[in-house]
Structure 1
Amino acid sequence: MLNPSEIDALFDPDLPAPAHWEQQYPARQMPAGAEVTRFCPSPTGHAHIGGIHVAAIDSAIAHQSGGLYFVRIEDTDQAREVEGAVDRFDRAFRHFDVASDETDATGLYGPYTQSRRARIYQTYVRELMRQGRAYPCFATKDELEALRADQLAKKLPSGYYGQWAPWRDADDDAVRDQLAASVPYVVRFRSPGTDAGRIVFTDRIRGSIEMDDNRADTVILKTSDRPLRLPTYHLAHAVDDHLMGVTVVIRGDEWLSSVPVHHQLFDALGFPRIPYAHIAPLMKQEGKTRRKLSKRKDPEADVEFYAQAGYPTEAVLYYLRGLANGRLAEMPLDQALREPVRLEECGVTGALVDLAKLEDICANHVATLPGTTVLERVKEWAKAYDLPLAEVLQAEEGLALRAIAVERDGFDNPRKDLRMWSNFRTHYGFFFQQLFVPVADPADPRFGGLAPDVVQELSRRLLDRYQAIEDGDAWFNQIRAVSAELNFADSARTYKQNPDKYVGSIKEASQAIRVLLTGSTRSPALHLVAATLGEAEVRRRLDAVRTV
């Protein structure tokens, strides 16, 4: 083992002792029972909806207990870091209301980015080396590959242990020779090795778990040939969660198998163990099987998918809460967002993300919102994703509110075609002259095969007698009268009984008028559409097809 002075020479001579950091980050003064949680994304790609799922649980567990929640960027894997990823995370956290309670500007336990905490980690690595609990390893990538190949050939567990850990008990002079020659090295944690047995611990979601203890010597400090020596996640999270006062670590279950080495690190560092709660990943149905929701394969895995489509934020959060705790999915949205999330109720198998179900939730929620709220939310979304629509809504607020009110205000069963804010242009855009293209071609396929001259004559005759009548039946009688004059049957049934006798039924006639007024074969009640458009605009649209 290297002597203390040789170990200290591997580090900055001004590196503080552990007591310095303990003093700089004193124990938090929190109310009894208050939880401190953290969400720690790695900026190696797009924000994943599964990350928002975990962050929302983190935030809920902290806030409902009177505690606090913070975001810590785990950027120690700088080779894989994607430019702009941190900014995307910030936008996503704000969008889904899981922004950090503490930041570098406001918190006392920062920096909240791991690459800026390098000196802290080096202090503790040096301390582990002084205690003989860590050592330098000079094995090259090729040598490590050869060790793994030998283990594979012998059908043994892979890892750096036993006879496959050549630098664990290397001769001190051999270590000094490598250091003198400036051979790059990593620092490994000294595990119990092959003497490791079994351990039992309690996961706050999964209960009591028993598994093999760790026997591999895990890398805790990355290679010395880089200017900024950063730790691996294993050491960094143990140091940070201790110093930053975390009371429960809520993270993805891909880390469950690492609990043994993490407990060993907490013990070696002299830190009290922090409870873990491992969240199952979000899943996707693919045929008869389920698989993890993938950023590479599934658009809905990317948080930006939800923002761009304009899913109402509170509806998505409600849906995610329901995936975490099934009882919350049975409650009304407002209640579910107030009720506590319980770790012990989180499932141990991944919940299925069902976009159809989410859209139904969104539609039901939007139907309960006042028109003014809907308009403000659509405008907010459009400013980011559909600027021409935003400009129209700003100029035509009165018309927009009247359009939103159609088949909503005063209806026991309000329309639910608006599921996402991006639907607005499709379902409401025809109300606005700036967004609507009048249907001028009488042979347009939307007329369902009616003869062009019949379409034109239908439009002309309705124009000649058109009146802006409030009563729905009276308004529709205008179409009935014109249809009868042009030999349309008074019902689909009558037409079906003798199709050669008529040019169509009242259904086809009214559908043609619907297309002229809305550009679509589906719309709210025509008399309500006409009342919202106003007589002048109704006439302009009816006239478009007959002037060809």
Structure 2
Amino acid sequence: MNQAELADRLFPGVTRLPQDVLDSYPTRDLPEGALVTRFAPSPTGFMTIGGLYATQISERMAHQSGGVFYLRIEDTDRKREVEGSMEDIIRSLGYVGISMDEGLTVSGEEVGIYGPYRQSERASLYHVFIKDLIRRGLAYPCFCDADEVQAIRDKQKAAQLTPGYYGDWAVHRHWTPSQALVELEKGKPFVIRLKSPGLPDRRIKYHDLIKGEIEMPENEQDIVIMKSDGIPTYHFAHAVDDTLMGTTHIIRGDEWLASIPVHIQLFEILGFRRPEYGHLAPIMKMDGASKRKFSKRKDRDATAIYYQKEGYPSKAIAEYFMTLINSNYEEWRMNHSEAPYTDFTIDVNKLNVSGALFDMNKLNDISKDVISRYSADEVYAQASAWAASFDEELAARLSANRDYASAIFNIGRVSEKPRKDISKWSEVNDLYAYFYDEFFNRSVEAGYESLPGEISLELAQQIIREYEQSLDLGDDHDTWFGKVKAIGDQLGFAKDAKAYKKNPEAYPGHVGDVAMVVRVALSGRTMTPDLYDMMHVMGESRVRDRLKRYSTRS
């Protein structure tokens, strides 16, 4: 028996040759310089914030170059697969606004002609290339079970040698096809291993897109390229898939850096042009005074679903990622305030080599800025959509009176410097609940105690009674505030904060405190949108009812 006969015995149903497969995947017709990138997760857990960050880099690289970005699911490790994780991954990409040109959709359908886009459905393709390697004597069946492999490692450890299946330690590497046939006839399980041409004293060099020039030992291990169930390992599958799908650039976590010698060797042995790799350091977070990696086990904010549940707009997440990708993005944004973030061209050479620091406070600031630029209708639509999934009370409140809710959201939104009080949709219910009588009636009493300075309840009620007498919602802003100042003068308040600070013993407060008392009476809070606008949204009946309630409380 020769190598070709062994290959036929191992893969009797495989009749195609590698070139047949390569010819069935057309070369992509793209402009010069266009990149083809991908996100290729394993469905073994839920989408992390670091995964989204890396994926946005890949998506931007492809689309800013006029290229293609696609999603491939690398589900070759069925034992570790987590139910629902694939759907979570796809929904998370959509949540952040990362658009795929090809790949799987939430419904399970595929878009694109380079599929299947699940590795578990591509086994027949991999078998073509594995059979060819066996035919050429570059791969072989290995019949060692787990105990035998462990015994080899134990002997190597005792001899203080590099552990693994290689060289003279690779028992079946040296078998003839006839010897292998004997085991096959017995029905003994086997895996397929690559016959590595690597030597321990040789090194490889390659240029990493992010880390620069890298030098590493060559791979000498006879790695498994197909498991006993006929499914290839990730290492082998990705080399075939990235070639057939025309991938040009790969951004992935630097935990894969150690695999570079294996991957370069696979591309060389298969005769494929390898893509360019960039290895990204993990996103870091502050833990007290020190930095550390996110932990999916103990950090709620490590997963993408956390940000969805909190209600961060997708645009805010994307904008924040851009500041992590390239530090000069913030300067660009200041000079291009109205442009979409996709107009910015990212530079992979400027990525943070040591790991970007995820700053939640900065995310909140960016999110406030993003939401401040939305129209009231956009705020209503996004808040309602979020509430429909995560806050039934808010959803009911918003849907009960859209016009009233939109008017609330519109306060302070039409000025050159719009208010920035919302950083995420989960804050909306608490921020604006006092506009609604049901909430106000059950919770306002505690807020009534928030009086400025040394103002007593009696004086506050006197202010409100005077205010009730002068109130006319038909007044323009200047007229209205003139009346507030007149009440302050009448009750001995300073005309402004400066005068009060100069001689605080002479006044019960200043005119701003008079307005604050009115604010507290109407909302139970000291922090609200513009008081004049707030009253006009509430309407005269509601305003007068609340003023009366305050002025008569005991």
TM range (shorter): 0.7 to 0.9
Question: Are the equivalent residues in 2 in contact too, given 1:443–1:452 (CA < 8 A)?
Answer: no
Question: Are the equivalent residues in 2 in contact too, given 1:235–1:265 (CA < 8 A)?
Answer: yes
d(CA) in 1 for partners of 2:168 and 2:69? 44
Match of 2:375 among 355, 363, 370: 370
Question: Are the equivalent residues in 2 in contact too, given 1:430–1:436 (CA < 8 A)?
Answer: yes
Equivalent residue number for residue 19 of structure 2? 19
Deviation (angstroms), 1:2: 6.2
Gaps of 5+ in 2: 104-108
d(CA) in 1 for partners of 2:426 and 2:98? 23
SS in 1 for 2:432: helix
Where do 1:452-463 residues align within 5 Å?
462-463=467-468
SS in 2 for 1:330: helix
Q: Deviations over 1:221-254 (max 9, x none)?
A: 1124xxxx21111000000011111122222222
d(CA) in 2 for partners of 1:540 and 1:466? 13
Where do 1:255-266 residues align within 5 Å?
255-266=256-267
d(CA) in 2 for partners of 1:451 and 1:163? 91
Q: Deviations over 1:405-455 (max 9, x none)?
A: 323323x43321112222222223322345543556489654589877777
Question: Are the structure 2 counterparts of residues 441 and 299 from structure 1 closer, same or farther at C-alpha, using a change threshold of 3 Å?
Answer: closer
SS in 2 for 1:337: helix
SS in 2 for 1:532: helix
1:497 aligns with 2:505: yes
Question: Are the structure 2 counterparts of residues 442 and 166 from structure 1 closer, same or farther at C-alpha, using a change threshold of 3 Å?
Answer: closer
Equivalent residue number for residue 273 of structure 1? 274
Deviation (angstroms), 1:459: 5.4
SS in 1 for 2:220: coil
Question: Are the equivalent residues in 2 in contact too, given 1:439–1:544 (CA < 8 A)?
Answer: no
1:115 aligns with 2:120: yes
1:437 aligns with 2:441: yes
SS in 2 for 1:278: strand
Question: Are the structure 2 counterparts of residues 70 and 374 from structure 1 closer, same or farther at C-alpha, using a change threshold of 3 Å?
Answer: same
Percent sequence identity over matched residues? Answer: 38
Deviation (angstroms), 1:23: 2.3
1:401 aligns with 2:402: no
Question: Are the structure 2 counterparts of residues 394 and 16 from structure 1 closer, same or farther at C-alpha, using a change threshold of 3 Å?
Answer: same
Give the partner amino acid of 2:191: V
Q: Deviations over 1:90-114 (max 9, x none)?
A: 2112222223212354311111111
Equivalent residue number for residue 223 of structure 1? 228
CA root-mean-square deviation: 3.2
Question: Are the equivalent residues in 1 in contact too, given 2:300–2:306 (CA < 8 A)?
Answer: yes
Equivalent residue number for residue 239 of structure 1? 240
d(CA) in 1 for partners of 2:237 and 2:493? 78
Give the partner amino acid of 1:74: E
d(CA) in 2 for partners of 1:156 and 1:540? 85
Where do 1:76-155 residues align within 5 Å?
76-103=76-103, 105-155=110-160
1:420 aligns with 2:424: yes
d(CA) in 2 for partners of 1:252 and 1:313? 23
d(CA) in 1 for partners of 2:317 and 2:129? 41
Question: Are the structure 2 counterparts of residues 453 and 140 from structure 1 closer, same or farther at C-alpha, using a change threshold of 3 Å?
Answer: farther
SS in 2 for 1:437: helix
Give the partner amino acid of 2:423: R
d(CA) in 2 for partners of 1:144 and 1:455? 83
Give the partner amino acid of 1:516: A
Q: Deviations over 1:237-293 (max 9, x none)?
A: 000011111122222222122111111111211212222222222111223432222
Question: Are the structure 2 counterparts of residues 181 and 453 from structure 1 closer, same or farther at C-alpha, using a change threshold of 3 Å?
Answer: farther
Question: Are the structure 2 counterparts of residues 341 and 441 from structure 1 closer, same or farther at C-alpha, using a change threshold of 3 Å?
Answer: closer
Deviation (angstroms), 1:506: 7.2
Question: Are the equivalent residues in 1 in contact too, given 2:445–2:524 (CA < 8 A)?
Answer: no
Question: Are the equivalent residues in 2 in contact too, given 1:206–1:278 (CA < 8 A)?
Answer: yes
Deviation (angstroms), 1:462: 4.8
Equivalent residue number for residue 286 of structure 2? 285
TM-score relative to the length of structure 1: 0.87
In terms of mean alpha carbon deviation, does 203-212 or 233-242 score higher?
A: 203-212
d(CA) in 2 for partners of 1:510 and 1:496? 18
In terms of mean alpha carbon deviation, does 72-81 or 27-36 score higher?
A: 27-36
Q: Deviations over 1:95-145 (max 9, x none)?
A: 222232123543111111111111111221222122221122233333333
d(CA) in 1 for partners of 2:282 and 2:301? 14
Deviation (angstroms), 1:345: 2.3
d(CA) in 1 for partners of 2:298 and 2:94? 25
1:470 aligns with 2:475: yes
Equivalent residue number for residue 183 of structure 1? 188
SS in 1 for 2:216: strand
d(CA) in 1 for partners of 2:267 and 2:131? 15
Question: Are the equivalent residues in 2 in contact too, given 1:71–1:99 (CA < 8 A)?
Answer: no
SS in 1 for 2:122: helix
Question: Are the structure 2 counterparts of residues 442 and 389 from structure 1 closer, same or farther at C-alpha, using a change threshold of 3 Å?
Answer: closer
Q: Deviations over 1:154-183 (max 9, x none)?
A: 554433223543333246666444333333
Give the partner amino acid of 1:380: A
Deviation (angstroms), 1:194: 3.9
SS in 1 for 2:544: helix
1:212 aligns with 2:217: yes
Q: Deviations over 1:162-212 (max 9, x none)?
A: 354333324666644433333322221111254551111222333322111
Question: Are the equivalent residues in 2 in contact too, given 1:31–1:66 (CA < 8 A)?
Answer: yes
d(CA) in 2 for partners of 1:157 and 1:447? 74
Give the partner amino acid of 1:329: E
Equivalent residue number for residue 541 of structure 2? 536
d(CA) in 2 for partners of 1:480 and 1:149? 88
Question: Are the equivalent residues in 2 in contact too, given 1:392–1:434 (CA < 8 A)?
Answer: no
Give the partner amino acid of 2:21: W
Give the partner amino acid of 2:283: L
d(CA) in 1 for partners of 2:97 and 2:343? 14
d(CA) in 1 for partners of 2:253 and 2:531? 52
d(CA) in 2 for partners of 1:510 and 1:344? 54
Deviation (angstroms), 1:324: 1.6
Where do 1:445-456 residues align within 5 Å?
445-446=449-450
Give the partner amino acid of 1:301: A
Question: Are the structure 2 counterparts of residues 288 and 132 from structure 1 closer, same or farther at C-alpha, using a change threshold of 3 Å?
Answer: farther
d(CA) in 2 for partners of 1:297 and 1:157? 35
Give the partner amino acid of 2:391: D
d(CA) in 2 for partners of 1:2 and 1:543? 100
Equivalent residue number for residue 295 of structure 1? 296
d(CA) in 1 for partners of 2:29 and 2:486? 79
TM-score relative to the length of structure 2: 0.86
d(CA) in 1 for partners of 2:142 and 2:398? 64
Give the partner amino acid of 2:304: V
Question: Are the equivalent residues in 2 in contact too, given 1:371–1:404 (CA < 8 A)?
Answer: yes
In terms of mean alpha carbon deviation, does 58-67 or 445-454 score higher?
A: 445-454
Question: Are the equivalent residues in 2 in contact too, given 1:325–1:346 (CA < 8 A)?
Answer: yes
1:30 aligns with 2:30: yes
Question: Are the structure 2 counterparts of residues 34 and 509 from structure 1 closer, same or farther at C-alpha, using a change threshold of 3 Å?
Answer: closer
Question: How many residues matched?
Answer: 540
Give the partner amino acid of 1:9: R
Give the partner amino acid of 1:313: S
Gaps of 5+ in 1: none
Question: Are the equivalent residues in 1 in contact too, given 2:312–2:423 (CA < 8 A)?
Answer: yes
d(CA) in 2 for partners of 1:281 and 1:440? 46
